[in-house]
A = this chain, B = another copy of it.
């Protein structure tokens, strides 16, 4: 009962987005998992589901950002490996879920775009500090490769796709 209502809503929504995607997650599911009253959703997120999903996407993006403190690729990799195994490969990336929601959820799409941009900027800064060539280019490809690897890892039920990305990208991330 400790956590405030808004936070509980976001946490539950993120969890459900990772399992079932945007359209596979119902308001009733969020209510059940968070134990919050129906009306409270529309108090905190007047625009309804799309706004809730967009806010959850932003929050999830911030969380991952803190995990990869300073853009350390190895920390990101380790965290995703652990998370996938902990949840028995029954989850994906909530930002990917928002990105694939489609035109019915414009706010969610926008949120996904902004999170991806933030991730790229963080990674590019870290790469630049390490003296790596083409930091922006590599940062974008890193985000792409990570997102694809998470998707493959989920259906393969194996962390191999993630590790392979780390191996291959490691060859490119070298000081010039």
- List A residues at the B interface (Cβ < 8 Å): 19-24, 90, 92, 96-97, 99-104, 109, 112-113, 116, 137-138, 140-141, 143-149, 151-152, 154-156, 160-161, 164-165, 167-169, 171-172
A23 in complex: contacting residue of B24, B147, B154, CB < 8 Å: B24
Contact B149 A164 (CB under 8 A): no
A149 CB, nearest partner CB in chain B, Å: 4
A172 CB, nearest partner CB in chain B, Å: 6
Contact A20 B23 (CB under 8 A): yes
Contact A151 B96 (CB under 8 A): yes
User: Which of chain B's residues have a CB closer than 8 A to the CB of A102?
Assistant: 19-21, 24, 90
Cα A103 to Cα B87 in complex, Å, equals 13
Contact A24 B146 (CB under 8 A): no
Among A20, A102, A109, find the residue whose CB has the most chain B CB atoms closer than 10 A: A102
A165 in complex: contacting residue of B144, B164, B167, CB < 8 Å: B144
Cα A102 to Cα B89 in complex, Å, equals 10
Contact B90 A103 (CB under 8 A): yes
Contact B172 A99 (CB under 8 A): no
User: Which of chain B's residues have a CB closer than 8 A to the CB of A161?
Assistant: 140, 144
